[in-house]
Amino acid sequence: MAGVSEDADDGGGLRRALGPLHLITLGIGAIIGAGIFVLTGHAAAGYAGPGVVISFAIAGLGCLFAGLCYSEYAAMIPVAGSAYTYTYATLGRFMAWIIGWNLVLEYLAASSTVAVGWSGYFTNFLAGFGLHVPAALAAAPIAGSSLGAMSLTGAWFNLPAMAAVLLVSVFLITGVKMSANFNNVMVAIKVTIVLAVILFGFAYIVPANHTPFIPPNTGEMGHFGWTGIFRATGVIFFSYIGFDAVSVAAQEAKNPQRDIPIGILGSLFICTLLYMLMSYVLTGIAPYQTLNVAHPVSQAVEAHATTRWMAPFVNIGAIVGLASVMLVFLLAQSRVFYAMSRDGLIPPAFREIHPRFATPWKGNIITGIICAIMAGVLPLDVLGELVSIGTLAAFCIVCAGVLVLRVRLPNQPRPFRTPLVWVTAPLGIVMCLFMMIFLPLDTWLRLAAWTAIGLCIYFLYSVRHSSPQHSSALQ
């Protein structure tokens, strides 16, 4: 996903230049984004209260198991397309289509979620200078994640979110490249802002805001209490999907057997700790009920006169950080489309390269338009849950694929081997399924509808046009 660049070598032979520190930095840069700046407040206000701290710990553990399975795949099959390509090479065309179609949902919804968060911080930043975006142009026209409880907000569409997606898409078409130095600067800005909020905010925590730490259940499953914590785990799981940037870089690691687990474990541990501390501070300095906004971090620091000075810096950090994450997700989406089109599963337009910019420009245009529409009209909670359920389904297939490959090709060279694979992979599947179970029924219905659309495309188009070029990739 996040680690694929537009000029990646599909065939291997990559220079091994990345050490453990590079990989940890890469992972942190991809993980720190919409989760910590946006979904923290949403999950606390809607599901778990201050107990969202526990939700982040559970989600981080589930990601660890999936990440170790990803690493084995990435080291063996270093080509564009991420989990889609891994699955094609091991489980065949049909399962590859299922996971590829889920990745399309994941990236579209993830990019849209990040764009909505970016819009919240951008409009809040402008408001600090007395520039106010009209409410009708800064919010989704519908609210609520339940199909039966959705209502009109009176807004037209979220214009800043749509503009951000389209602008990033233009950059991708013209061939913007994200260098390692640029990534390091983004990581430094984001982590500095996060650490500043944590360190300064601790002194202003109001103990009453953490009482009760796990608010009592409202009588509906998933709304506070322990079921709320579990539901929040599924929602905020989206926060961690950037760890794939580490696994995709397996072929560029100096010593993959050592460096990949260090990169994954290091970035997941650091980011989980930052998520837990940030959610603890946010729910401590502001009542969790007030955090269900697109800019919860700046909302929280503005709750105290003594921390209000941090709001502009928080907004700047979020604007810069979320823009970089949006670019990575949209870039990854185009690569998944490119890989699927290369295999004949979707029309050839998605693999058509621009003669001047050398980018899959038609795929970028289509992705950008769809993503912009989603960001403009769908509420944050719907987008976040769509990302999580699509990602969790994909991770289940990845964990299962590693086990299948161990049986089918036990002697295949593996630069990195998942430790205790017959324990790690099943635990990854169980934890992902567990988190999926607690997502709302409406989210499952949306996934079912998306899958039905995908199956129609598969049987009407993909079966007749697919190429078997990956079927023997590991033979």
Q: Is the pLDDT of residue 90 over 50?
A: yes
CA 18 to each of CA 13, 14, 26, 254, 255: distance values in angstroms, whole numbers, following the listed order: 14, 11, 10, 6, 9
pLDDT, residue 159, reads 94
Residues 35-39: what's their mean pLDDT? 82
When comparing pLDDT for 106 and 315, which is higher? 315
Poorest-pLDDT segment among 151-155, 176-180, 219-223, 467-471: 176-180
pLDDT, residue 146, reads 60
Residue 148's pLDDT band, with cuts at 50, 70 and 90, is low
User: pLDDT by residue (tens digit) across 5-14?
Assistant: 333 344 444 4
- Taking each continuous run of H as one helix and of E as one strand, the counts in the chain are 18, 2
Provide the mean pLDDT of the chain.
82
Give the residues across from 142 on adjacent strands: 152
HSE (CB half, 13 Å, CA atoms) of 384? 32
Residues 352-377: what's their mean pLDDT? 87
Residues 162-172: what's their mean pLDDT? 90
Residues 192-205: what's their mean pLDDT? 89
Is the domain spanning 20-465 CATH 3.40.47.10? The answer is no
Nearest CA to 161 among 108, 125, 112, 104?
A: 112
CA 131 to each of CA 8, 35, 316, 320: distance values in angstroms, whole numbers, following the listed order: 41, 27, 15, 19
Angle at alpha carbon of residue 63, lines to 231 and 223, rounded to 5°:
5
Cα–Cα distance measured from residue 52 to residue 299, given in angstroms and rounded to the nearest whole number: 17
Cα–Cα distance measured from residue 432 to residue 240, given in angstroms and rounded to the nearest whole number: 13
Residues 292-318: what's their mean pLDDT? 86
Pairing type for strands 142-143 and 151-152 reads antiparallel
Q: Is the pLDDT of residue 100 over 50?
A: yes
Domain spans of the chain?
20-465
Structure-token pair, residue 361: 């420009």
Q: Is the pLDDT of residue 178 over 70?
A: no
User: pLDDT by residue (tens digit) across 229-274?
Assistant: 998 998 888 778 777 667 656 556 677 777 777 888 888 888 899 9
Q: Is the pLDDT of residue 4 over 50?
A: no
Q: Is the pLDDT of residue 155 over 60?
A: yes
pLDDT, residue 248, reads 59
Q: What is the pTM of this model?
A: 0.80
Q: Is the pLDDT of residue 166 over 90?
A: yes
E-state strands within 41-166: 142-143, 151-152
pLDDT, residue 173, reads 84
Cα–Cα distance measured from residue 160 to residue 375, given in angstroms and rounded to the nearest whole number: 9
Poorest-pLDDT segment among 30-34, 48-52, 81-85, 118-122: 81-85
Structure-token pair, residue 239: 């926060």
